[in-house]
Structure 1
């Protein structure tokens, strides 16, 4: 399977990317091909809402979304990786999702497999509820096939994250994909 991991943390060596690395290790050990797109450090711009694309055309913005769209078109699965920012996706991941507008119908008809990997400082499981619901609603709207979620609570720093069960869960999740 061709898996695209979209990382949305401004901290290249932060907790969410640590979990992504473990997931990637597991997925590669299972024989999958993994591509990583660093949305936090890419040349991306927010959707302008101009509707020039008509939800099925070329976006007027010329940035890294053009190459990301090509990778998405050739992927079987997308994994969204985000730190929890104010109970939701990071702005960097949200910007990518908003830019799906220009090929909304194509995405819907593709029926991509997806997953969510997130890290939060707070150790309360309720912390992830809004993010989880947003992700599941996105899956429903775009006909994505949710394969699972790693919602790492108590993962405020990489050293904290390493002491939790989540790195192993992320590895096992990647390894288990069919």
Structure 2
């Protein structure tokens, strides 16, 4: 009974503080700060455009801005500006070992393994994933044993010039198939249509969607 009385009095005291001023707001802010620290994630963002100021790159920037504001740790890897050799199917790695190539994928490799979430940001190139992004995804093969079934989250940010939804379907199918195979959970997709020239996505609400996605994590 004494413990119950103590808890009751403590609750009433907290309520009195809230009524008197902003104590309850400060308390909840403190709780939210603790939750934010507890839920901090390691996020890898892969970009697949060779245009530094391209539309998909801007979506990636906005996502990163939102995610970092929430306290998440983000590692960005710009596939088009890294030296990554295409997989040669030599199977030297055995799907879970060192690759024969000593290139920039070695920089990305530990981040992918440790990541809680992986974000793919890319433009549509000839109705498919850009080659710059695909060669990096193909190199996932060497760490397959450590990332498959790892319960990671993922998101997909894509841009394309046309507005027909059916033209985006092949890329989305590829992404969803990859998620199914790896056992990762896709939390969201931002599909930006009707953006062609560099920077045109800035005149749409897609950057805000990407930002809000990062903030929502």
TM-score interval for Structure 1 and Structure 2 normalised by the shorter chain? over 0.9
Map of 2:82 onto structure 1:
42
Gaps in structure 1 of 5+ consecutive residues? none
Corresponding position: 1:85 with 2:120: no
If each structure's helix is expressed as a fraction of its own residues, which one has the higher value? 2
Task: Give the one of 7, 21, 46 matched to 2:61.
Answer: 21
Task: Give the one of 165, 176, 201 matched to 1:125.
Answer: 165
- Tell which deviates more after alignment, 103-112 or 10-19: 103-112
Task: Tell me if the contact between 1:18 and 1:158 (Cα under 8 Å) persists in the aligned partners.
Answer: no
Deviation at 1:27, TM superposition (A): 0.9
Larger radius of gyration: 2
Gaps in structure 2 of 5+ consecutive residues? 1-40
- SS of structure 2 residue aligned to 1:109: coil
Task: Give the one of 125, 128, 151 matched to 1:111.
Answer: 151
Cα distance in 2, alignment partners of residues 14 and 25 from structure 1: 17
TM-score by length of 1: 0.95
How many corresponding residue pairs?
177
User: In the superposition, relative to structure 1, how do residues 53 and 27 fare at CA in structure 2: closer, same or farther (>3 Å)?
Assistant: same
Cα distance in 2, alignment partners of residues 106 and 136 from structure 1: 19
Map of 1:137 onto structure 2:
177
Map of 1:30 onto structure 2:
70
Corresponding position: 1:162 with 2:213: no
Map of 2:48 onto structure 1:
8
TM-score by length of 2: 0.79
